[in-house]
Amino acid sequence: MEQKEQLKQKYLQFQTLQQQIEQNSQHLELYNQHLNELEISQEALKQLKNIPLNNEILATIAPGIFIKTTLKDNQKLIVNVGADITLEKTIPQVIEMLENQQKELETEIAKVDSVLQILTQQALKLYEEFETENVQ
C-alpha cells in the first residue's frame, strides 16, 4: 500500500512540474514575441530619420488601424512614460530606451529558460523513477 501511495505522490509531483513547464513555456513565448517587436520598432525608428519631411506616411491609430498623414518632424517623438505622461524624445533617445528594454527582456528570457531546463530535468527524473517503480 505504501508503494502505491509513493507512486501516487510522484505522479502528482510530475503533473505539477508539467503545469509549471507549460506556464514557463508560455511566458518564454510571450517574451520572445515582445523581443521581436522591440527589434522591429528599433529598425523602424532607424529608418524614420531617413524619410524626407512632408512625405505621406501611415501612422498607427490602434493595432491594425492606420491613418495617412504627412511627416512634419522626423527627429523627435512623443513617448508615453507612464501614468499618461508623455515626453518629447529624440530618435536616438528612444532607440536607447528600447535597447535597455531589450536587454532587460533578454535577461528575463535567460532566467525563464534556466528555470525551464531545471523543471524539465526534475520532471524527467520523476518520470524515470515512476517508470522504474511501476515496472517492479
Three cell numbers, residue 105? 527582456
Question: What's the pLDDT tens digit per position in 44-91?
Answer: 999 988 899 999 999 889 989 999 999 999 999 999 988 989 999 999
pTM above 0.75, yes or no: yes
The CATH number of residue 10's host domain is 1.10.287.370
How many domains are there within the chain?
A: 1
Give residue 57's domain range. 2-135
Let me know the angle formed at the C-alpha of 130 by 128 and 135, rounded to the nearest 5 degrees.
95
Three cell numbers, residue 104? 532587460
